[in-house]
Copies of this chain bind each other. A is one copy, B any other.
Amino acid sequence: MKLINQLSKETGLPIATIRFYEKSGLFKGQKKKGITTNNYTYYDDEVTEKLDLIRDAKSVGFTLSEIKELIDAWYNKRISKPKKMEILDAKLAQINDKIKELNAVKKQINYLKREVEKYDC
């Protein structure tokens, strides 16, 4: 169980960002029972995993609400197994589409390179 500072170091995300994500409902920390002197929030390894997923998914263009769906499909107990699989499969399809689009953009850029090579003097 770690505090937010350690979580930040492990994930490479700023503390303020982590708090923002937590406030957005992407995960939850816990208050330690029995401690009355402070109000600190503790995080377990699952949160680290979730933050890694958030970071990676964000970097390829998923929005926070898309990522929330993904995380809910992973760990929300009120979602049925078939529904979860459906969501995960939809995300996989979305990723495959993105890869296709990236390859298309790649093609376009290679075309631009040839154009620059040809005409730009």
* B-binding residues in A (CB < 8 A): 53, 56-57, 59-62, 70, 73-74, 81, 84-85, 88-89, 91-92, 95-96, 98-99, 101-106, 108-110, 112-113, 115-117, 120-121
- B61, A108: Cβ atoms closer than 8 Å: no
| A-B CB contact pairs (8 Å), 29 listed | A53-B105, A56-B104, A56-B108, A59-B61, A59-B98, A60-B60, A60-B61, A60-B98, A60-B101, A60-B102, A60-B105, A61-B61, A62-B105, A70-B109, A70-B112, A74-B116, A81-B116, A81-B121, A84-B116, A88-B109, A88-B116, A89-B113, A91-B109, A92-B106, A92-B109, A95-B105, A95-B106, A96-B106, A98-B102
Given contacts A60-B105, A61-B61, A112 and B88 within 8 Å (CB-CB):
yes
